[in-house]
Amino acid sequence: MLPWVEIAILAVALFLRVWLIEMKPPHFDEGVNGWFADQMTQTGFYRYDPTNYHGPLHFYAVFLCQTLFGRHVWAIRLPAIVAGMLCVWALLRYREFFGLTVSRLAAFAMAVSPGFVFYSRYSIHESWQVLFSILLVHSLLGLWQTGGRNHLFTGVASVAGLILTKETYILHIGCCMIAFGVLRLWERFLPSRPALAVAVQQWIPADLIKSTALAAMVIVFFYSGTFRDFSALAGLYQTFAAWFQTGVGAGGHEKTTFDLIGPLNYYWVALMARYEWPALLGLATCVRFVFPSDARLRFLAIMGGGFLLAYSIIPYKTPWCIISIIWPFFLTAAAVFDEFRSRLRPPALAWAAAVIPLGASTITCADLNFRKFTDDTEPYVYVQTYEDVNVFTGPLLRRAAEDPRTYHIDGIISMESYYPLPWVLGDFTNIGYYKKEIQPPNWNVSFIAVDSAREAEIESHLQKEYFKRRFHLRSAQDECTAYFLATDFDHVLQGPPEFKPSPAP
């Protein structure tokens, strides 16, 4: 049974991740991920594309939730919520190595982290990547400390999970391996206290062979589209060529703020300073582990520094990667706090000091996730769909709720960029999606959405009366205009229609 403190931490984490979960409009990437789930509904499997840079696991999870619960924003976000909750639970499991105080403090820091909450309320792959990364490191420490078979199986399963999630698994596995090498080298100069010897291993080679074979079969199962497209398996290595090209080129996602030297910059540290005070404190406390200290904490400090360095070197930077970087720093901060607490008299003073970063994180978390979730001045809010999208989708969904036949009316969406609309309006069967250089055969349909700069062009084709509404879909995109056929939406949109065709000469 979990003690009440851990239950309370998980309850706080759950509340922050599910309360008002549909308040934030679907993000561009959520629309794309939902579209992939829609394609799976049609084809029966996920056709892996190595240029997509993401493994199939999250798409199958979204497909399962959407199939079971329907086309709801909370349904496509449910996999990320589950993965985010499991991350907090997995961090609590580190009590096996560092004790209750360290694991609970680290887990609470994650539970109220602005970034972890924001991206757990967001249907993307990163929460899965963090979960498997945490479990992998836990298994490595377990093999180091006890050599148990359960840790071997967890480690193999974690590697498989990373491979199934995202191509950046190579960074996380690589940083773990390099960290052990750096630790071994550093031990020659300043030995750890305690210097923990590698335990006698309780597993046998057959355990490794069988678990690896099972993991490989699971990887093949998902990447081959449940054994329906074996040609896609080549993507397991082809993805790195595409990813390397995009990562070096940045693809419009470079972050040059706070340059340090060459490709290194302070972008991730700046995000920590703005949002993640416990993680920033954990980064600073890594200096403590340069000196004689627990070898396992030294490993975490080195590994965390490796994560930060690797993601700093890569020009391609999207803010949700922050959660893949900062989780080890929650543990290092908690460990230094625990050491400080044991030496301070009275110990209550240490707890009072801990309230400052944790309280700041909680307040920032609430402000970001429940008030500023579409505010472009917040760096975590990135290519986010505005609530203004409801100007277009609201009348359609309200009319469809009243009369399901609405799902079969004709519509046209001709915009420079239109995601997440294909998922949001995925139940509408007769929408044509067009780029501006392609003209639909007939503009006189029940509803239209276009870039506002094309109003004059589109209105020259319209022969009926339309309600006309302007809206912004997201930042860095021009204003859009929605047209609703007056005879179809007169009971949904009040007042006279704004557009009336010119009378024939």
- Does 402 lie in the same domain as 340? no
Are 96 and 265 in contact by the 8 Å Cβ rule? The answer is no
d(CA 296, CA 309): 20
Vertex 288: Cα angle to 284 and 291 (nearest 5): 145
Q: Is the pLDDT of residue 33 over 70?
A: yes
Of the candidates 344, 370, 396, which is a domain's last residue? Answer: 370
Domain that holds residue 209: 4-370
Q: What is the pLDDT of residues 466-490, one digit of tens each?
A: 999 999 999 888 899 999 999 999 9
> How confident is residue 242, by pLDDT bands cut at 50, 70 and 90?
low
Q: What is the pLDDT of residues 357-394, one digit of tens each?
A: 999 999 999 999 999 999 999 999 998 999 999 999 99
Q: Tokens 């992939």 sit at which residue?
A: 36
- Asked, as a colleague might, if the bond just before 420 is cis with ω within 30 of 0, I would say yes
Average pLDDT score over residue span 130-149: 96
- Does 411 lie in the same domain as 342? no
pLDDT of residue 264: 53
Of the candidates 370, 403, 418, which is a domain's last residue? Answer: 370
d(CA 204, CA 209): 9
Flag whether 411 is in a domain: yes
- Does 419 lie in the same domain as 285? no
pLDDT of residue 251: 47
- Does 236 lie in the same domain as 335? yes
pLDDT of residue 243: 62
DSSP 461: T
- Asked, as a colleague might, if the bond just before 194 is cis with ω within 30 of 0, I would say yes
- Does 285 lie in the same domain as 358? yes
Are 138 and 154 in contact by the 8 Å Cβ rule? The answer is yes
Q: What is the pLDDT of residues 73-97, one digit of tens each?
A: 999 999 999 999 999 999 999 999 9
Q: Tokens 């010119």 sit at which residue?
A: 502
Q: Is the pLDDT of residue 505 over 80?
A: no
> How confident is residue 142, by pLDDT bands cut at 50, 70 and 90?
very high
d(CA 7, CA 390): 37
Beta bridge partners of 499: 466
pLDDT of residue 260: 47
**Nearest alpha carbon to residue 305 among 260, 269, 357, 338:** 269
- Does 348 lie in the same domain as 414? no
Higher pLDDT, 145 or 196: 145
User: What residue type is 402 in one-letter code?
Assistant: E
Flag whether 497 is in a domain: no
Of the candidates 338, 370, 402, which is a domain's last residue? Answer: 370
pLDDT of residue 94: 97
pLDDT of residue 250: 46
pLDDT of residue 95: 96
d(CA 280, CA 266): 12
Exposed e or buried b for every residue in 35-72, given b needs 16+ CB within 10 A?
bbbbebeeeebbbbebebbbbbbbbbbbbebbeeeebe
Flag whether 263 is in a domain: yes
> How confident is residue 49, by pLDDT bands cut at 50, 70 and 90?
confident
Flag whether 502 is in a domain: no
- Does 252 lie in the same domain as 211? yes
- Does 122 lie in the same domain as 83? yes
pLDDT of residue 281: 95
- Does 179 lie in the same domain as 64? yes
**Nearest alpha carbon to residue 477 among 458, 502, 504, 450:** 450
Flag whether 504 is in a domain: no
Flag whether 290 is in a domain: yes
User: What residue type is 425 in one-letter code?
Assistant: L
Q: Tokens 């609970």 sit at which residue?
A: 104
Flag whether 453 is in a domain: yes
Flag whether 429 is in a domain: yes
Percent of the chain's residues with pLDDT above 90: 75
- Does 358 lie in the same domain as 268? yes
Give the count of domains, the chain: 2
Contacts of 29 (CB under 8 A, 6+ apart): 123, 124, 383
Name the pairing type of β-strands 447-451 and 410-414.
Answer: parallel
> How confident is residue 118, by pLDDT bands cut at 50, 70 and 90?
very high
Are 219 and 163 in contact by the 8 Å Cβ rule? The answer is yes
pLDDT of residue 265: 67
pLDDT of residue 245: 61
d(CA 502, CA 505): 9
Q: Tokens 């054994």 sit at which residue?
A: 227
pLDDT of residue 246: 56
- Does 315 lie in the same domain as 199? yes
- Does 103 lie in the same domain as 198? yes
Q: Which of 46-50, 359-363, 397-401 has the lowest mean pLDDT?
A: 46-50
pLDDT of residue 137: 97
Are 134 and 382 in contact by the 8 Å Cβ rule? The answer is no
d(CA 223, CA 304): 30
Average pLDDT score over residue span 140-148: 95
